[in-house]
Amino acid sequence: MDQHEFVDEHFRLARRYFLQLGICGLSATQWVMHAFADDEKVAKPIKKQKPDKAGAKREPYFTPPEDFRDVSRGKPLPHSLAEDKKREVGLTRDTWKLEVISDPDFPATLGKPLTNASDTAFDFDALLKLGEKHAVRFPKVMTCLNVGCPLGMGLWEGVPLREVIWLTQPTENLRRVFYYGYHNDDPKQMFRSSLPIGRVFEDPFDLPPVILCYKLNGQWLDSERGGPVRIVVPDAYGFKSIKWLSHLVLTNLAHANDTYAEQNNDVDSSLKTFAATLSIPKQVKSGEPIPVSGYAQVGIAGLSKVQVSMESKTVSRPVDDPHFTLGPWSDAELLPAPTIWTGLTDNKVPAKTHGFDENGLPKSWPIRFTNAHWAVVLPGVSAGEYIFRCRTIDEKGIAQPLPRPFRKSGHAAIESIVVTVND
Ligand SMILES: Nc1nc2c(c(=O)[nH]1)N[C@H]1C(S)=C(S)[C@@H](COP(=O)(O)O)O[C@H]1N2
Ligand SMILES: [Mo]
């Protein structure tokens, strides 16, 4: 999809909302041109011409796997290997093998490690067999800790990681699990992540489990998204969701040993709540209402509302308010849950999906760790330069993003966009 189509589609959706409110001032063409101008700065193709905010759109709500943004490492990238090489290294469903072992340096006591050497490594058939009884699916937005907008919104399906760990009969000295995937047999390329074992054995509050994932949006997990099998951690940033999974290591090590920790990242961070725009006119006429729409990532703190502010550039902001807590905030409209779940087979959320009822309707909205959408029509203002901002209010009534002394806990900034109002 090119930039024009992307903007066009968003206009079509937001337009319904604006029409309801009787906003007819802007013609479709004007709107598209305005939104197009704004998106020039964000819609630059990063890789393979993918639109930047594709993973945040209202439609398709579930991002087609090929439209996810890919930030994975590897030379060559494992998903780019030739089919016969993939078969040789276990990157196809019928050749996949998973070893589940004890850490030689900080051993956990296991009754039955699963290894290639003893011919007990876990395979795809065994995974599907476990899936018959234990498979779960849940919606989750995949977001990189270090990228400003979501990579893609997925319906992930798999077997709880704990079910596989139980097969090794652990008895003692098990405090964490770390895991990695195929990395061209080059130790320097290993990308490893880890979790406390408690998060694996039990799910806090109403969160879904950590899974060994083999399906995305109802289809087999493809190679680019980490197939045949990847980890997906519902509440975490993308770096915990290791692709091309090949090894689980059960350890008595008491702390995280994630590859991401070496790059000054906060590896214990949960997904943050924040809002950003998808469409906003860059130029408007004075006195004309200004329609704006966007998305919110619903993080661990939940989301109760989205707020917006328009401030003249000439206003001098209080020096002791770098996080805009004193801005002229007003509420935007949080759009209801989609009724048509675009991106899934028959546009339906299948039965037995976490957070949804038997009819495929969300039990509540918005859902944690997914995208929600909002729209607002700001009253017309007099000519001049303005700065538009949006933020979220979490479930506890606290403005998000919080002031963050440490940026590498996940992107959650207040976006500032200049709007020019002409006479
Ligand atoms: N094996 C492996 N898994 C990986 C990575 C990687 O480089 N290698 N990148 C991680 C990071 S940093 C992110 S943000 C997510 C991105 O997932 P996606 O490619 O499905 O969007 O994958 C994670 N899993
Ligand atoms: Mo990432």
Q: What is the pLDDT of residues 275-325, one digit of tens each?
A: 999 999 999 999 999 999 999 999 999 999 999 999 999 999 899 988 899
The CATH superfamily holding the domain 66-263 is Oxidoreductase, molybdopterin-binding domain (3.90.420.10)
- Mean pLDDT score, 224-248: 98
> pTM value?
0.90
Q: How far is the CA of 143 from the centre of ligand 2 (A)?
A: 7
Confidence of residue 382 (pLDDT cuts 50, 70, 90): very high
Q: How far is the CA of 239 from the centre of ligand 2 (A)?
A: 5
Least confident piece of the model among 27-41, 132-146, 196-210: 27-41
In this prediction, residue 53 carries a pLDDT of 86
Q: Angle at CA 22, nearest 5°, toward 16 and 26?
A: 75
Please tell me the residue having the least CA distance from ligand 1 atom 1. Answer: 243
In this prediction, residue 404 carries a pLDDT of 74
- Mean pLDDT score, 103-123: 98
Q: How far is the CA of 73 from the centre of ligand 1 (A)?
A: 7
| Best of 46, 70, 71 for a ligand 1 pocket test (most atoms within 8 Å of beta carbon) | 71
Q: How far is the CA of 192 from the centre of ligand 2 (A)?
A: 12
Which part of the chain has CATH 2.60.40.650? Answer: 272-422
Q: How many C-beta atoms surround the C-beta of residue 271 within 10 A?
A: 27
How far is residue 91's CA from residue 69's CA, in Å, rounded to a whole number?
Answer: 20
In this prediction, residue 12 carries a pLDDT of 53
Please tell me the residue having the least CA distance from ligand 1 atom 5. Answer: 72
Please tell me the residue having the least CA distance from ligand 1 atom 19. Answer: 70
- Which tokens sit at 375? 């729209």
Q: Return the percentage of the chain with pLDDT > 70, whole number.
A: 88
| Best of 63, 79, 243, 258 for a ligand 1 pocket test (most atoms within 8 Å of beta carbon) | 243
Ligand 1 pocket, Cβ-based, cut-off 6 angstroms: 68, 70-73, 142, 144, 151-152, 181, 191, 225-226, 238-239, 241-244
**What is the average pLDDT value for the chain, to the nearest integer?**
89
Q: How far is the CA of 238 from the centre of ligand 2 (A)?
A: 5
Residues bordering ligand 2, an ion, CB closer than 5 Å: 144, 238-239
Confidence of residue 124 (pLDDT cuts 50, 70, 90): very high
Atom of ligand 1 nearest to the CA of 237: 14
pLDDT(37) > 70? no
Confidence of residue 406 (pLDDT cuts 50, 70, 90): confident
Ligand nearest to the CA of 142: 1
- Mean pLDDT score, 90-100: 98
pLDDT(39) > 80? no
pLDDT(41) > 80? no
- Comparing 213 with 318, the larger pLDDT belongs to 213
Q: How far is the CA of 370 from the centre of ligand 2 (A)?
A: 17
Q: Which fold has domain 272-422?
A: Immunoglobulin-like (2.60.40)
In this prediction, residue 16 carries a pLDDT of 53
Please tell me the residue having the least CA distance from ligand 1 atom 24. Answer: 242
Atom of ligand 1 nearest to the CA of 68: 21
Confidence of residue 6 (pLDDT cuts 50, 70, 90): very low
Ligand nearest to the CA of 69: 1
Confidence of residue 54 (pLDDT cuts 50, 70, 90): confident
Atom of ligand 1 nearest to the CA of 180: 1
Which part of the chain has CATH 3.90.420.10? Answer: 66-263
